[in-house]
Amino acid sequence: MKNLYKNILCVLALGLTVASCENYLDDAPKGSKIPTTLADFEAFIRNEYTNQMVNVEQAINLLNDRYQIPSDLSYNRLTNANYFWDETADRIDLNRADETTYYGQYAGISSFNLLIANVLTTTEATEDQKRIVWAEAKILRAMSYFNLVNFYADTYVASTASTKLAVPLITSADINAPSKQVTIQEMYDFILKDVNEAIPYLPKVSQTALHPNLGAGYAFSARVYLQMNNYTEALKYADLALAENNKLYDWTAFYNENKTFLETPNNYTLLATPMGYDYVENYTYRHGAYNYLRAEYDITVDRSQRFETGDARFLSRWKIRTVGTETYYRRLLSGMFNFGGITTVEVYLIKAECLVRAGQTSEGLAVLNTVRKTRILPESYQDIATADKTTAMNAILKTKNNELIFGLIPFADARRLNAEGVYKVSFSKVKDGQTYSLSSDSHMWTMPFPQGATKNPGNGTITQNVAK
């Protein structure tokens, strides 16, 4: 499907233009096709390597969730600044490239805008079929805006959300459509409006893993409300999502099935990942930075120490390796990874956090332990049981960071928690005898817009949300 429609995909990404296009529906050049049927438009959702990719690589670097080889750190100065938490670095100056995070999300938004504007008047489909695709595009657009606002703007705080700027908002696929850099509150209002309008029309069963279903709509609502510190609504939608899909993958079984292979010394042959399109935990699937059949990231020794003893998911994904003077944990799985979508485990842990915050600590830990039983090997497993709210919250957040590694949510959660001020996130490490630190109130928790966007903002203006 991707190749069939690549000649009609003219992308506006607030400065990323295609010279031959006045708008998406102008006369097609020879050899191209103008979409008219619902199937023509629906193919944009299947264009997974453009519209369904969520690259948050610099957030992963800031969290030190991946191992970086020294040569890459020397070459990429922006990566080096984030990886070593260099608060003196001018990341605006270093971010000269047309960063994939920004342009990738706006490319998808432009396609989803196209669908929202046109699918209800397409041919060869029933009204119900048209409305489903319209609703799916609304959810995907809202998800993309959520990614942008939680990367390039400060985190949501109710008292300041109406005064701080977010990211440019554009709702048209026309090349010359105007944009406005709205406030954080306006962006969240827009996201929730899209979701609330879409939910009544979402199907219970997805056409493919790329198409959001009703469970995805509820799960994404829970994610948004949690980020807004609205724990009552987040819990409500988490329960609705889990009523649609509450399946958890048994990583202890996967590890035991592959134990001999995984424990063979110096064997780094890759296994096929179970976290692909048909992963039972998927609500909706979106790629991360690696968008083709690839292996996932390696991780540092420091990062490995944040996993629980006996974590079968960890033991199935990484193995320690030393090459020269460098020791790290080498990846063991290859294939597709749902780093940009939504899974049931995230919703379980949203529910657990909301219950603990509501004073239902034992109930929240019961939800957490439901997840852990499918992850921690029986010989290492013990229920986490405590009446202390802080201990319970730390256990939930630790599990969530490990489960959702390489996606946006650990970064978004850290920003949310730092703004709240109760469960602050900060880091410290020693490398080659030097100590590096990232404080919870560092400006580095907000990423700068790429220079290509600020210097060529399309039909609008863009103001940086961070000083450097």
Most distant CA pair in the chain, distance: 69
* Average pLDDT of the segment spanning 31-37: 76
CA distance 203 to 311: 35
- Give pLDDT tens digits for 424-440: 999 999 998 999 999 99
More confident site: 235 or 452: 235
- Domain assignment present for residue 356? The answer is yes
* Contact between 209 and 284 (Cβ < 8 Å): yes
Number of independent structural domains in the chain: 2
* Contact between 238 and 222 (Cβ < 8 Å): yes
- Domain assignment present for residue 420? The answer is no
**What is residue 293's predicted lDDT score, i.e. its pLDDT?**
52
Return the CATH number at 120. Answer: 1.25.40.390
Q: Are residues 177 and 306 located together in one domain of the fold?
A: no
- Domain assignment present for residue 318? The answer is yes
CA distance 447 to 454: 13
Domain hosting 370: range is 206-383
- Domain assignment present for residue 214? The answer is yes
* Average pLDDT of the segment spanning 65-86: 93
Label residue 96 by pLDDT band (50, 70, 90): confident
* Average pLDDT of the segment spanning 78-84: 96
DSSP annotation of 311 reads B
**What are the helix and strand counts (H, E) for the chain?**
21, 11
* Average pLDDT of the segment spanning 67-75: 89
Q: What are phi and psi of 194, to 5 degrees?
A: -60, -45
Question: Is 0.75 topped by the overall pTM?
Answer: yes
Cβ atoms < 10 Å from Cβ of 363? 13
Name which of 21-35, 72-86, 205-219 the model is least confident about: 21-35
Label residue 249 by pLDDT band (50, 70, 90): very high
* Average pLDDT of the segment spanning 89-107: 89
Residue 166 DSSP SS3: strand
- Domain assignment present for residue 273? The answer is yes
- Alpha-carbon radius of gyration of the chain: 22
Q: Are residues 150 and 7 located together in one domain of the fold?
A: yes
Q: Are residues 363 and 348 located together in one domain of the fold?
A: yes
Strands 282-284 and 342-343: antiparallel
Label residue 231 by pLDDT band (50, 70, 90): very high
